[in-house]
Amino acid sequence: MLGIKEGQKLRYGVIAAPLVIFGAILILGFIDQKAFHALLWDFFKLLMQNFGWMLSLGCLSFVFFAIFLLVHPIGSTRFGGKDAKPEFSTWNWWAMSLCAGMAMGIVFWPAPEALKHSLAPAGGMLLEPGSQQAMLWAMRTSFLHWTFTPYSIYVVCGVLIAYAHYNLKKPFAVSSALYPLLGDRAFGKTATVVDGLTLFAIVGGVAGSLGYGLLQLGSGMDFLFGIVPGPVVWTALCILIVATYTTSSATGLNKGIRWLSDKNAILFIGLLVFAILFGPTKFSMNLTVQATGDFVNNFVSAMTFTDPFPGGDLWPQWWDMYWWADWLSFAPITGMFLARLCYGRTIREFIVVNLILPALFALIWFGIFGGLTLHTHFLEGVDLKVLMDTKGYEVLMLRLFDFLPAAEIVRPIMLFTIFISFVTLADSMTSTVSMLSIDNPDVEQSSHTEAPIGMKLFWGLLIGTTSLVFMFIGGLDGIKVVKTIAGVPILLLEVAMLVGFIMFMVKQSRKNSELVHNIYEVEYVTDLKN
């Protein structure tokens, strides 16, 4: 069944969690859409108003911990031991990390975030909409959402999972990262609950990202061919995307996923260079540099912005905290995927390739395309707000290429980049989810064993179907709320993993100190006798 190999077992308890939870949610959505929307919105407000501050503090702690790992001597620890050799080149490693992290997001959100936040800044910031201060704040906020914080969330999970698997020789699973905290209690029923929660979160996360992709691709079809997007178009696009990323995932990490990530990264770099060469470079670069300084100077205050006063507009809850929950929904599975790639690398290398370099690329990308958006709207006088209000967020990035040379050529390339961006995200996630669904008897090799094709097909179809159904019954806001619901519980899981790792390392440090002290005493006594 599903191509399970001899010795392997399906983890039925893990697989059942997302099926039962999403099944119940979707049934309610079909029975009564009004009640479905009300339930989603009420639950979202309950989570964010009461626990959103936990998301902000938790994610801030992950940033600080990633910095600690980078500068502390522990950063020299090599995954797999001192003799372990890397499997992938640094370029392939970085490309797969970039595309697995947020490839879909960076082709959707640069223009909407820059424009939306400039025209409607958070009420608690007391900024005049459309002012220079609002534009600067909008860029700073984009950097906050899409650079160092999300990658820190991923990297902390990745380091903890990789260390548990490669150095402590535990199964290749999210639950193994709890071993330093719980010992052998991290396995068995605890592992079933933890890994089941992880699958629930990632199905919601990837399905939500596919929803964004379908909206954007549908707008692109309208732009290029005059095909009005709707249920039929979205369904056709969904079938094409699911078929593509399932096929890519089925070919394995060393073939389809690595090849697609390589080409996707090249497309990103090519589009970025094109926008730098032919866009309003002076304005975009100056804005990016100033916004970066503002971002760095106000990082902690921005991360802890909650707007607690009566009459607030829930801006930080609907944007900042939503994004933290979104990244958290991806964190365990993305962490597993990053851990799969890092054998033979040090923790410090892991931080540089999976956090520093992707975050810097995202900062430049958002700066250039965000700057192009603001220059077009505010300085060239093109009313992009009307377009955003009538056609949706998804149309803005494609519309930007009308203000650059060779739009007829570049826009199809951008559309293809959007397509391949989601495919590279989904195939890496599908492959990793499938591995988590199997109990592999060879613990040490479990991270290098491909899951059965049937299992990859199962998860690929489930993610695609879930995304499509939510688009029909919940819209973009429904997608956002579901991703939030999926991500919030992961915060507690990642904090527990982090606390356990710190406690384990402190104990190891004390043991090493005692060992050195004992050796010194033996040598000292021996010297006295001699």
**Following DSSP, what letter does each residue of 280-322 receive, concatenated?**
-HHHHHHHHHHHHHHHHHTHHHHHT----STT---HHHHTHHH
Q: Which two tokens stand for residue 310?
A: 């009566």
Question: Residue 474: its pLDDT value, please?
Answer: 61
**Continuous segment of H or E residues that includes residue 438:** strand 438-439
Asked if residues 100 and 253 have their Cβ atoms less than 8 Å apart, the reply is: no
Nearest to residue 375, comparing CAs of 291, 294, 285, 272?
A: 285
Nearest to residue 63, comparing CAs of 498, 419, 428?
A: 498
DSSP 443: T
Q: Which two tokens stand for residue 81?
A: 């031991």
Asked if residues 482 and 40 have their Cβ atoms less than 8 Å apart, the reply is: yes
Whose tokens are 């800044």? That residue is 121
How far apart CA 10 and CA 428 sit, in angstroms, is 20
- The more confident residue out of 98 and 289 is 289
pLDDT band at 256 (very low <50, low <70, confident <90, very high): confident
Asked if residues 315 and 123 have their Cβ atoms less than 8 Å apart, the reply is: yes
**Continuous segment of H or E residues that includes residue 14:** helix 12-31
How far apart CA 496 and CA 459 sit, in angstroms, is 27
User: What is the rounded average pLDDT of the residues 101-106?
Assistant: 76
Classify residue 209: in a domain, yes or no: yes
Convert 490-528 into a string of H (helix), E (strand) and C (coil). Answer: HHHHHHHHHHHHHHHHHHHHHHHHHHHHHHHHHHHHHHH
How far apart CA 206 and CA 232 sit, in angstroms, is 21
User: What is the rounded average pLDDT of the residues 236-259?
Assistant: 80
Asked if residues 291 and 143 have their Cβ atoms less than 8 Å apart, the reply is: yes
Question: Residue 477: its pLDDT value, please?
Answer: 60
Classify residue 304: in a domain, yes or no: yes
CATH of the domain at 412: 1.20.1740
- Reduced to 3 states, what is the DSSP secondary structure of residue 188? coil
Residue 405 has pLDDT above 70, yes or no: yes
Strand runs (DSSP E) across 339-412, as ranges?
Answer: none
**Continuous segment of H or E residues that includes residue 9:** strand 9-10
User: Into how many domains does the chain fold?
Assistant: 1
- Tell me how far CA of residue 239 lies from CA of 35, 139, 259, 321, 455, in angstroms: 29, 35, 22, 32, 18
- The more confident residue out of 297 and 392 is 297
**pTM higher than the cut 0.85:** yes
Residue 402 has pLDDT above 60, yes or no: yes
The residues, any chain, with a CB within 8 Å of residue 122's CB and separated by 6 or more, are 305, 307, 313, 315, 316, 319
Residue 18 lies in domain: 9-510
Whose tokens are 């979707």? That residue is 26
The string of pLDDT tens digits covering residues 261-281 is: 899 899 999 999 999 999 999
Count of all residues that appear for the chain in the document: 530
How far apart CA 52 and CA 171 sit, in angstroms, is 33
Asked if residues 181 and 160 have their Cβ atoms less than 8 Å apart, the reply is: no
Nearest to residue 22, comparing CAs of 191, 245, 208?
A: 208
Asked if residues 56 and 320 have their Cβ atoms less than 8 Å apart, the reply is: yes
User: What is the rounded average pLDDT of the residues 143-168?
Assistant: 96
Classify residue 516: in a domain, yes or no: no
User: Percentage of residues in the chain with pLDDT exceeding 70?
Assistant: 89
Question: Residue 447: its pLDDT value, please?
Answer: 62
DSSP 255: I
pLDDT band at 524 (very low <50, low <70, confident <90, very high): very low
Question: Residue 478: its pLDDT value, please?
Answer: 61
How far apart CA 34 and CA 474 sit, in angstroms, is 10
Asked if residues 132 and 283 have their Cβ atoms less than 8 Å apart, the reply is: no
Q: Which two tokens stand for residue 5?
A: 């190999």
Asked if residues 6 and 441 have their Cβ atoms less than 8 Å apart, the reply is: no
Classify residue 362: in a domain, yes or no: yes
- Tell me how far CA of residue 399 lies from CA of 116, 129, 143, 216, 333, in angstroms: 15, 23, 22, 11, 33
Classify residue 524: in a domain, yes or no: no
Classify residue 308: in a domain, yes or no: yes
How far apart CA 149 and CA 62 sit, in angstroms, is 8
How far apart CA 473 and CA 481 sit, in angstroms, is 13
First to last CA, the chain: 71
Convert 61-104 into a string of H (helix), E (strand) and C (coil). Answer: HHHHHHHHHHHCHHHHCECCCCCCCCCCCHHHHHHHHHHHHHHH
DSSP 226: -
Question: Residue 206: its pLDDT value, please?
Answer: 80
Residue 329 has pLDDT above 70, yes or no: yes
How far apart CA 237 and CA 394 sit, in angstroms, is 15
Question: Residue 100: its pLDDT value, please?
Answer: 78
Q: Which amino acid belongs to residue 245?
A: Y
Question: Residue 313: its pLDDT value, please?
Answer: 87
pLDDT band at 485 (very low <50, low <70, confident <90, very high): confident
The string of pLDDT tens digits covering residues 192-210 is: 999 988 888 888 778 777 7
β-strands 9-10, 438-439 pairing = antiparallel
Asked if residues 210 and 203 have their Cβ atoms less than 8 Å apart, the reply is: no
Q: Which two tokens stand for residue 386?
A: 């009307």
How far apart CA 62 and CA 73 sit, in angstroms, is 18
Strand runs (DSSP E) across 185-300, as ranges?
Answer: none
pLDDT band at 150 (very low <50, low <70, confident <90, very high): very high
Residue 212 has pLDDT above 70, yes or no: yes
Question: Residue 502: its pLDDT value, please?
Answer: 95
Classify residue 232: in a domain, yes or no: yes
Classify residue 529: in a domain, yes or no: no
Name the phi and psi angles at 146, rounded to 5.
Answer: -125, 10
Residue 513 has pLDDT above 70, yes or no: no
